[in-house]
A and B are shown apart, each in its own frame.
Chain A
């Protein structure tokens, strides 16, 4: 099976400062990879490299077997969608207009959305429980609603690969779980590959098939949640004391910080 998304010994630096060093990952259809790590470990830079917004200084990112640089931007947008960390849109576009922007890579420059495009956009909005706010300007919605509208936009792109950059920052418990339920359902039903950058290690343990632990721009752990979320690895990466237990209901690891004494 060809991997949908592949990073082959990718490095990147801003000027002299090296942000990521020789990072490699492989994502098969239907897989959910969680990227975790402390602040400044290079997680967001990795998302930018994987979406082609930044070009690696060394190494190659491949989408469906072809280097990302061999695609035109529109072709990339038909196959790969990003949900940004900061869900803001300039000017008072309505929620539905924002979700319809996800159909743009599938339409010619002057075309209006067809009935099919509208159906896809509205289905995505219903799935994320934002159908009722479709005619409200995005800047009038709550942070959580905005984030779900932007995930609906990504779904409307009908991508094979979904990159989520800390998608749960503005969400309450119910919607934190909800977004990942949707991501998981897409991976299972349609064979999407998902990369989710997460701060919350417990969410990562619950919803991801595999985890990648970044620290200082280097991969310090990769594998199943049980294999990556160990006391030693986490204390090393986060430079703080942690407790790792087990979720009685799901069996997934549970991580809690410990007070420094």
Chain B
């Protein structure tokens, strides 16, 4: 059991957030320098370096990809932390609840309807798909005007399977070229050469994170249950709506830029909660920064392990995240039984 201060002070919030921000920055620099093709930062930044091969590799190929990893990982981490609090279930995550799946289906449909892959229409469609998934899941879990976190999780798992099947169906029905595009949504990939895309994803992420942070204290109080939170002065319905919309914004943007990447939204908040405690004023920004760093290194592994061939990054997050998560589950189980 980790010993931590009995409550969160502004000093500890600032220090921990700054340390994680440094970690993210170091990850960005470090990951840019790693790759199957050697490239020198000195040559790229030297005289006439902008026309060198080193410059192209570092700043046109690797940096946008690493930055996209930071934004997508951060979005999934923060959304996962918020959903775990809202549903009062440490097993909740955008992937498991079918929110990523809903976003992917809507994004693919927008593409098939003729939207340009780089237009802002695709992330917007994905955002609507994420909201749609949440509405369907919460309504499906509602009986007599009441829902339980448990029911939401169950319905989410079923909806997730449905969304995956819908994607497969589209994949089979569409032509070969389109199918490549659809496959990208299912497997997840961070390959991009567009700073515009990264900037758009970052704008969504900052808006979503800021919105979540406004409700950080509400999320803390929800740990007392819906009734308990009401009795502590939380407008539970309003908080729930706000968190759902903000999480959809984060997940929609992340999925539309990179497809469905699992486990980040599950593992990062879980691990950070163990290390830093459950206060969401710290846990939300920490999950954003930590999620970014985690996905950057997962993607670095994905593009170097079999280099020059590439693994889908979702394979790496699942292969590293899965066993770790099983270990956590087992530890919790042992603690609960003994």
Contacts and interface: CB of A to CB of B under 8 A. Distances in A.
User: Do chains A and B stick together as partners?
Assistant: yes
A73 B214 contact: no
Given A53-B231, A89-B224, A104-B217, A112 B9 contact: yes
Interface string B81-114: 0000100101000000000000000000000000
A204 B153 CA distance: 42
Task: Point out which of B215, B222, B231, B278 has the most chain A C-beta atoms below 10 A from its C-beta.
Answer: B231
Contacts of B7: 94, 96-97, 100, 113, 118
Contacts of A84: 224-225, 227-228, 231
A92 interface: yes
A90 B223 CA distance: 5
Given A93-B278, A110-B214, A104 B233 contact: yes
Interface string A68-99: 00001111111011101000111111111100
Given A73-B235, A92-B278, A101 B224 contact: yes
Task: Point out which of B5, B6, B281 has the most chain A C-beta atoms below 10 A from its C-beta.
Answer: B6
Contacts of A134: 6
Contacts of A157: 232
B338 interface: no
A53 B227 contact: yes
Contacts of B3: 135
A29 interface: no
Nearest to A105: B233
Given A96-B6, A135-B5, A135-B6, A82 B277 contact: no
Nearest to A52: B230
A73 B6 contact: no
A11 interface: no
Contact of A77 (B4, B6, B217, B232): B232
Contacts of B222: 90
A72 B281 CA distance: 24
A97 B88 contact: no
B221 interface: yes
A51 interface: yes
Contacts of B277: 92-94, 97
Contacts of B10: 112
Contact of B221 (A76, A104, A112): A104
A75 to B, nearest CB: 8
Contacts of A112: 8-10
Interface residues of B, number: 38
A110 B233 contact: no
Interface in A45-66: 48, 51-53
Contacts of B6: 94-97, 134-135
A89 B220 CA distance: 10
A91 B227 contact: no
Nearest to B222: A90
A77 B213 CA distance: 22
Contacts of A75: 233
Interface string B194-219: 00000000000000000001111110
B88 A90 contact: yes
Nearest to A154: B231
Given A92-B278, A94-B7, A113-B7, A82 B223 contact: no
Given A90-B88, A135-B6, A77 B231 contact: yes
B278 A78 contact: no
A91 B223 contact: yes
Contact of B232 (A93, A96, A104, A109): A104
Contacts of B228: 82, 84
B115 interface: no
Contact of B230 (A53, A78, A104): A53
Task: Point out which of B214, B215, B225 has the most chain A C-beta atoms below 10 A from its C-beta.
Answer: B225
Given A84-B227, A89-B223, A15 B233 contact: no
Contacts of A97: 6-8, 220, 277, 279
Task: Point out which of B3, B9, B217 has the most chain A C-beta atoms below 10 A from its C-beta.
Answer: B217
A41 B281 CA distance: 42
A24 B218 CA distance: 33
Contacts of A94: 4, 6-7, 277
Interface string B216-256: 11101111110110111111000000000000000000000
Task: Point out which of A52, A109, A118 has the most chain B C-beta atoms below 10 A from its C-beta.
Answer: A109
A110 B217 contact: yes
30 contacts: A51-B231, A53-B230, A73-B234, A77-B231, A84-B227, A84-B228, A89-B223, A90-B88, A91-B85, A91-B223, A91-B278, A92-B278, A93-B223, A94-B4, A94-B277, A96-B6, A97-B7, A97-B8, A97-B277, A104-B232, A104-B233, A109-B214, A109-B217, A110-B214, A110-B217, A134-B6, A135-B3, A135-B4, A135-B5, A140-B1
Interface of A: 15, 48, 51-53, 72-78, 80-82, 84, 88-97, 100-102, 104-105, 107, 109-110, 112-113, 118, 134-135, 140, 157
Interface of B: 1, 3-10, 85, 88, 90, 144, 213-218, 220-225, 227-228, 230-235, 273, 277-279, 281
Given A73-B235, A93-B277, A135-B4, 12 more contacts: A51-B231, A73-B233, A77-B231, A84-B225, A88-B225, A91-B273, A92-B278, A94-B277, A96-B7, A97-B277, A101-B220, A112-B8
Closest CB pairs A-B (n = 7) = A77-B233, A135-B6, A105-B233, A91-B278, A74-B233, A96-B6, A90-B223
